[in-house]
Amino acid sequence: MRRFYLNRIEDETGISGTGIVTEGVQFSDGSCAMRWIGSKTSLCFYKNIQDVIDIHGHQGKTVVQWVDSQNLIR
């Protein structure tokens, strides 16, 4: 497992704001769980980190910021 944040550089919608907007974890099989930070939260699950980027990356306006440089537990 390894942890990540989504760091939003520019907020296109005006909903989530900028800076760290989620906390996430990538499991050893590559799947991800992510929780939105703020007053309106949700918990989301994704097949892989690329799906997270494709859905929430907004062409580079939001980036994955890894907390752990490598897998912690396998």
Domain ranges, ordered by start, for the chain: 2-66
pLDDT, one tens digit per residue, over 32-60 is 999 999 888 999 999 999 999 999 988 88
What global pTM score does this model have? 0.84
Residue-level pLDDT at 72: 59
pLDDT average, residue stretch 11-40: 88
Tally of CA atoms within 13 A in the half-sphere of 7 that contains its CB: 7
Residue-level pLDDT at 73: 55
Q: Rounded to whole angstroms, how far apart are CA atoms 9 and 30?
A: 25
pLDDT at 11 over 80: no
